[in-house]
A and B are shown apart, each in its own frame.
With several copies, the nearest count.
Chain A
């Protein structure tokens, strides 16, 4: 059997990422590759859809189908794609600016909709690609190019928002703990519905506050919480609030989640894209007859 086993190398391509050395996004890339391999997926079964940002480049660094879209719209692309072809494993990804600033609306509504996708946000609490402005995740007082006197906006709590929006799967990883991240992504992909995964992915170039060390000191793995039950939405919310959003691991999963696709009236298991385009003459005539 060993020769059949997919390894993460199957998901590597020959592009050298243009991320800065040490960027947290390398770990996210590696974790995605390993998760895909662990799930026994083949490259053509997967599509990685990404937004614009340093993080958004990820779709070009992985050997799967990839769509690098517009800023903030990865989830809209991904949802359309999944509706077209529900056999695909669709992973959307991007930065915290992409997903929580310009794209926040789609994030919330994708969560509500619960289409079977996995969404990975590389949360570095800053805008990397545009060279270091504040992001909705930047802490109050955080000094950046755009907030030289410190940010004066309250940072978003994306996972609390996700729970409030009715998320059925909420998890958080950290680039320093690739094993945990792999497990989270695997679980997210297996989850029947929308999996919301926030990853602390340090920007070593522009964010000198929320560094690897800083995160290491601040994260609270769910395992450290006695008897943590990831099936209780209210408790999950409480735990997030109490840890100021620093909880990592699988924070909440609805065991009864039914994906959007499975709720659509008349929607088939056979992907749309494999169904015939042409109507039968009789079908057409029946439709038209309604107008006579």
Chain B
């Protein structure tokens, strides 16, 4: 029996290979296993290799595994591209139909040809070959069939009992075939039993969308783009239940500007996109900053620059999110590391946007946005709603007709009270031009300085409740790892291995990206012999933020990856060993 196992299914894009992966994962989730998935796909609709790698464990997992135990292949290409990833003794399950073979030089790996297609045909439709493949896995892993029954019923129940029955037969036949082939279950593919608890299983984008709803966002304006579209697509389905709506706009400029307009109106509204969209939003973000209109913007990072690698993992928008837009505005950038944090941070983003009356960018990466994983219960009670100086539901005191409301009142904390259109005594003007306290354009030097100071004052000393995630067991560690977004889990696994070799490693994950939480980060940098910043870009953007805000340039090293794929634990482990060796620590 094993505690964890890594499974992958692959085939041609657009041929429905999402189904078996989803079915497998959902069933195992129902059994109480922890899952972590990553889909490899291309920027095309049909054709081209795609695969879904899923790690299953009895303990929480937040990273892909280095290797693979089981590969389910729907075509020879899948075997050719992925067989090398299999561990010694790993198994390929493939459709007997096309005479699968292992490529040259793939060592100790077992190929099981299962007649996916013929079994499916016998049952009445080749479409069911997916189910046979799932069944083959069930057989290999010796899984109980009940959770599959449950999921299959949910999936096809509407089509009638026969369809469900047929699909279950396909699974049974696949399982039977493999069991016969193996002559009994192999212990190395049998998972230790899980706790049976029902846990959430979702992608980061869904958690972001849920966070937005929980925070009271009832309007989203967006333009489709990978890997952000799921946020919008989920909300399109769900928001109407809550009286809300999504507008698919003509472009990202309209999307963010509509969101700003709605926030000006007093609603909680947002947009989400990826790099190209965020680049187009640059001017509007400045408008939100200047007019002190709250707005939340999600950037799901993908491979850049330009159209770049639209379906690949990267973390290369950090600088752009901090520094984009001409002139100077206060802005908050936060970066959740896990799907749970996607939910809570997204909800919190709306609070921050209103409390500070600034644009808030929620930064994720493709692996976090699209990777489907087991998620701890999302706590309704942890979601606060704080609106700061929003006056929309306040009875405002009466005032003279032309005594405009001081929407930009110079206050000690820089934040001014905010009435909304429709309120009788709240009339004021808003403009992206420099303005006075009631929002009228003003070019005066003294006013200008006061207003700039006011706006920038808002975020002085700003600090999230958890600006960094800290795993720092050591007082004087050999190394401090610093990561951002989805890398938390993979860094932790690398650290486990390093610790096993005697390295003392601390780890922080940066959640508050801007303003940079220098005071929180500094002590960890100071105490560490060496700092290794792990990030998925080519110019070490996060490391430069450390150097700029914390210093200790000479301590800071990088592990960078920018080939489009997420880190594997081994890669960090080995590169870290290399870096540590140069320091003669190992």
Contact = CB atoms under 8 A, between A and B. Distances in A.
Q: Indicate whether A and B are direct neighbours in the complex (CB within 8 Å).
A: yes
Interface in B220-264: 221, 223-226, 229, 232-233, 236-254, 257-264
A105 B441 contact: no
B586 to A, nearest CB: 42
B287 interface: yes
Contacts of B210: 287-288
A146 B224 contact: yes
A101 B198 contact: no
A277 B432 CA distance: 28
B225 A77 contact: no
Contacts of A137: none
Interface in B253-308: 253-254, 257-269, 276, 283-284, 287, 291, 306-307
A149 B246 CA distance: 12
A76 B224 contact: no
A109 B415 CA distance: 35
Contact of B251 (A10, A68, A72, A131): A72
Given A79-B258, A272-B243, A273-B267, A148 B237 contact: yes
A282 B283 CA distance: 40
Interface in A111-160: 113, 127-131, 133-134, 136, 145-149
A127 to B, nearest CB: 6
B276 A45 contact: no
Interface string A54-98: 100101100111111111110011111111110110000000000
A82 B206 CA distance: 27
**Residue of B251, B377, B433 ringed by the most chain A CB atoms within 10 A:** B251
Interface stretch (B41-49, B113-121, B453-461): B41-49
B48 A80 contact: no
Contacts of B428: 65-66
A267 B441 CA distance: 36
A129 B43 contact: yes
A164 to B, nearest CB: 16
B201 interface: yes
A66 B429 contact: yes
A68 B293 CA distance: 13
A287 B238 contact: yes
Contacts of B226: 130
Contact of B257 (A21, A45, A69): A69
A32 interface: no
A108 to B, nearest CB: 8
B161 interface: no
Contacts of A177: none
A68 B45 CA distance: 18
Contact of A266 (B223, B241, B262, B441): B241
Contacts of B223: 101-102
A13 interface: yes
A21 B46 contact: yes
A103 B223 CA distance: 13
A101 B250 contact: yes
Nearest to A103: B251
A264 interface: yes
B48 to A, nearest CB: 6
B48 A18 contact: yes
B261 A68 contact: no
A275 interface: yes
Interface in B187-220: 198-202, 206, 210, 213-216, 218-219
Given A44-B422, A130-B224, A272-B267, A77 B260 contact: yes
B423 interface: yes
Contacts of A128: 45
B438 to A, nearest CB: 10
Interface string B24-50: 000001100000000000111111100
Interface in A270-288: 270, 272-273, 275-279, 281, 283-285, 287-288
Contacts of B246: 146
B287 A78 contact: no
Contacts of A85: 265-267, 420-422
A128 B45 CA distance: 8
B427 A14 contact: no
Contacts of A130: 224-226, 229
A33 B289 CA distance: 30
Nearest to B441: A60
Interface string B373-415: 0010110100001000000100000000110100000000000
B250 A292 contact: no
B549 interface: no
B151 to A, nearest CB: 11
A276 B214 CA distance: 11
B240 A275 contact: no
B267 A14 contact: no
B553 interface: no
Given A43-B427, A63-B401, A69-B287, A287 B420 contact: no
A26 B307 CA distance: 23
**Residue of A69, A72, A147 ringed by the most chain B CB atoms within 10 A:** A69
**Residue of B202, B242, B421 ringed by the most chain A CB atoms within 10 A:** B421
B240 A266 contact: yes
Contact of B264 (A67, A106, A267, A288): A67
**Residue of A21, A77, A102, A283 ringed by the most chain B CB atoms within 10 A:** A77
Nearest to B240: A266
Contact of A104 (B29, B250, B433, B441): B250
Nearest to A135: B248
Contacts of B283: 70
A63 B219 CA distance: 28
B420 A80 contact: no
Contacts of B200: 288, 291-292
Contact of A73 (B225, B284, B377, B431): B284
A147 B236 CA distance: 7
B440 interface: yes
Contacts of B206: 291
A225 interface: no
A87 to B, nearest CB: 6
Contacts of A109: 249-250, 254
A133 B224 contact: yes
B257 A146 contact: no
A15 interface: yes
Given A45-B422, A82-B265, 18 more contacts: A20-B14, A64-B427, A68-B433, A69-B431, A70-B287, A77-B257, A84-B219, A84-B269, A87-B422, A113-B247, A129-B44, A266-B241, A276-B216, A278-B216, A279-B216, A287-B210, A291-B200, A291-B206
Q: Which 6 A-B pairs have the closest CB atoms?
A: A277-B216, A80-B261, A84-B265, A266-B240, A80-B258, A76-B257
18 contacts: A44-B426, A45-B422, A47-B421, A67-B430, A70-B284, A70-B287, A77-B261, A80-B219, A105-B251, A106-B254, A134-B248, A147-B236, A266-B240, A266-B244, A272-B243, A287-B210, A288-B210, A291-B202
